Structure 1
């Protein structure tokens, strides 16, 4: 059975519970999805502007159940970026939060759907978009930079990954995960999918780790698990997480980039000492969500490893690059609406772009990346795209981007350099990323080759950083 369908024994169970006190049972979810059949049609394309709220999750499940293809976007994404995606892909429907009514009243005719803070609008098109019969879901590839490049995921992709995750995490109906990640992000979405499969209760909040409301909700509703990217665990350490009394919390998962080895060791030891489990995982949107996991029992002795392949998957190293095989390998990319008719272009094989090694026991370790991507707060950020956004704004200054996971460095030649705070404010607003992940450096000159290409490997070693 698909995770967006409901086993009869789950009907009376609470599916979604928000920090606003609202709740929806599995049966109520199905009833709302059935009502939505009057609003959305099979084979149509819908954009969902996502928040971690009941209305947002229900919009997503209604699309899956009615075989409407959703593209999940951050509701806080820059307005112009969303408009550009609408222009490129011409969706038939748009789900949006009620408080954004003024932004989207020009989109088209307002529909009847008005549930839990979400509305829908419909757009009339001269010709329907041709869409591959097994296309189920579209997600962005590069964080919040507004790239038109999307990942095409099939029904088999998302179902097989939910099955696998539920299997290796031993999920059941007693789970109560709390949202620490946005649902439009592949890792956050996989938590929702895999727990829905098992009849669990998902605790929805938009509050962050630094807000007391988050911890009050977690404790009141007895959350059993949460997931986090490296930045999450850096913040937990600062918040003195190890001193908190959390008797109901039993599982912590981590993905979205490489966690510093010392933090891995500290959280693994904390889990062991308190009878909890700390599970590190590795994944990409191109593999639906996850490709490997490090079993909790090995978390201390194999600190720094991404573990072993998930159930149903297989990992190989080819010319130093990690290559993954499995049913969760997605169909391919879309650059425009014409690409939505494309079928499976990968055949279950994904070259990850990550360089890796394997030890004598078969545990894998990521040792580097082939291309210019960073994982920033769990989002995969294309440094070239960020660079182009900056160069379009600051035309008089030579700029370049580099960095490490969760820390994006912007280098600007001192001559004609813009104000550092202004740069950070601008790029934070454009990308939707926390200003704290950016750092601006003034330098004498950006190193380039004889052909004029930036020498990124030398950039962070450049002298005379100001």
Structure 2
């Protein structure tokens, strides 16, 4: 297990920050210090930041059998309190700014973090395979937790490493939060290979990020579609970064034009561009488009990762074998999670998925076995009796030079844009393209499209009235 084998990399650098570097030996020493007096098979919350402290806590807990829940540092405090009440953690590992009630005592500190321990510990019942809890990427309100086993973590980490050809010479920089499954998988797969990881909270939109980038010379980083939109906006095309060797994309579908743009750009720059597909429910990733196919298969999510497989089913759940026929995408593999947790009593449950995941995505495959996502199964409305795909509308507007997001209820389509001057034009365009009377279309100007920490659109926060 990668978290148990860290010491074999000895004096190699494991983490670099703006002002510090530590080796794998240093990391193992700090893990052993934090482990003192901790009890196995307890529940811990980590309020995550992209820093040494957060990853130290994560690796420590995995190593000694504590089950961590990774929580965003930007989580609403009321929601965090609800999670604490619901799941009754024994430990909370967080920045010293997170002060709790008198029901907690501070038992350890490291840099900016401290360990707070409940003075009235709850006796959790865990399934013996349960290793880690993550929130689903769309979680708002009362979050649903994904239950991941040790085998889920290990198998997906190995498969990702194999798909990307990761070696000790790779050096990633963090561009996504570690509580997000894609961001965490980047850390896991590079720790497996004894790599140096540059940890930063800086945004790719900040000058300080690129100053750090040029001084530390990472060879790889990953991003969601929003990351790539921003990279194009800030002129990544003109940047001289000869040490950058790999880019990875996951966390949502990158539209065909943007995918082709980066595939061709990376080819010119001598960078390998990998498009991947995954979900929290599959630990992280399920497929990879090999870099050599990035241009000719632009828009594809590629082929399943090692030890995984895809198949498509129709509305009757019959398997689709023909090429270019749409169906719901199913995935089978050892990285499929054990299931969900809705409350503390669910932590003892076993594997409810049995290695099979209905992704909820609609897809098709070409005659060479490469898969393409075409939309979400539930992202449909009925408008005047017509079935309308919200994803298709977003794609239509994008191809016509507009940027918007869509949601709605039956017989009413809501379109949101950050560009006030586009409101009337969007309404007319959509009405013409999908042959729906404009009275069913409401276009709203909003100052900012709501997104989570990893850049995914929070459709549930769009006001539909």
Label 1:404 to 1:264 Cα distance change in 2 as closer, same or farther (>3 A).
Answer: farther
For the 8 Å contact 2:88–2:122, the answer to whether it is kept is: no
Q: Equivalent residue of 1:214, what SS?
A: helix
CA distance in 2, matches of 1:405, 1:35: 51
Match 1:71 to one of 65, 69, 72: 69
The reply on whether 1:369 has 2:337 as its aligned counterpart is no
Q: Equivalent residue of 1:4, what SS?
A: coil
Q: What's 2:142 paired with?
A: 147
TM-score between both structures, scaled by the size of structure 2: 0.81
CA shift for structure 1 position 435: 12
Bigger CA drift: 27-36 or 214-223? 27-36
For the 8 Å contact 1:88–1:148, the answer to whether it is kept is: no
Match 1:222 to one of 210, 217, 221: 217
Q: What's 1:395 paired with?
A: none
Q: What's 2:272 paired with?
A: 277
Q: What's 1:162 paired with?
A: 157
CA shift for structure 1 position 261: 1.1
The reply on whether 1:110 has 2:102 as its aligned counterpart is no
Partner deviation per Cα, 1:430-465 (whole Å, 9 max, x = no partner): x6688998899999xx6xxxxxxxxxxxxxxxxxxx
Q: What's 2:16 paired with?
A: 17
For the 8 Å contact 1:231–1:406, the answer to whether it is kept is: no
TM-score between both structures, scaled by the size of structure 1: 0.81
Partner deviation per Cα, 1:120-176 (whole Å, 9 max, x = no partner): 111134650111111000000144524331000000000100001111111111111
Q: What's 2:339 paired with?
A: 332
Gaps of 5+ in 1: 376-382, 388-399, 408-418, 447-466
CA distance in 1, matches of 2:239, 2:347: 48
CA shift for structure 1 position 318: 1.7
CA shift for structure 1 position 219: 1.0
Q: Equivalent residue of 1:99, what SS?
A: coil
CA distance in 2, matches of 1:43, 1:68: 5
The reply on whether 1:4 has 2:11 as its aligned counterpart is no
Partner deviation per Cα, 1:334-371 (whole Å, 9 max, x = no partner): 00000000011111111101111111000001111112
Gaps of 5+ in 2: 315-326, 381-389, 392-404, 420-443
CA distance in 1, matches of 2:370, 2:417: 22
Q: Equivalent residue of 1:120, what SS?
A: strand
Label 1:137 to 1:366 Cα distance change in 2 as closer, same or farther (>3 A).
Answer: same
Partner deviation per Cα, 1:185-216 (whole Å, 9 max, x = no partner): 00000000000000000001111011111011
CA shift for structure 1 position 116: 2.5
For the 8 Å contact 2:6–2:28, the answer to whether it is kept is: no
For the 8 Å contact 2:417–2:445, the answer to whether it is kept is: no
CA distance in 2, matches of 1:122, 1:290: 34
Equivalence map 1:401-412=2 (5 Å): none
Equivalence map 1:177-256=2 (5 Å): 177-256=172-251
Q: Equivalent residue of 2:97, what SS?
A: helix
Q: Equivalent residue of 2:310, what SS?
A: strand
Q: What's 2:125 paired with?
A: 130
Label 1:343 to 1:281 Cα distance change in 2 as closer, same or farther (>3 A).
Answer: same
Q: Equivalent residue of 2:61, what SS?
A: helix
CA distance in 2, matches of 1:289, 1:405: 30
CA distance in 2, matches of 1:232, 1:118: 28
Residue correspondences, number:
409
CA shift for structure 1 position 33: 1.4
Equivalence map 1:257-406=2 (5 Å): 257-319=252-314, 320-372=327-379
For the 8 Å contact 2:226–2:456, the answer to whether it is kept is: no
Label 1:51 to 1:245 Cα distance change in 2 as closer, same or farther (>3 A).
Answer: same
CA shift for structure 1 position 105: 4.6
CA distance in 1, matches of 2:144, 2:291: 35
Match 1:88 to one of 83, 86, 89: 86
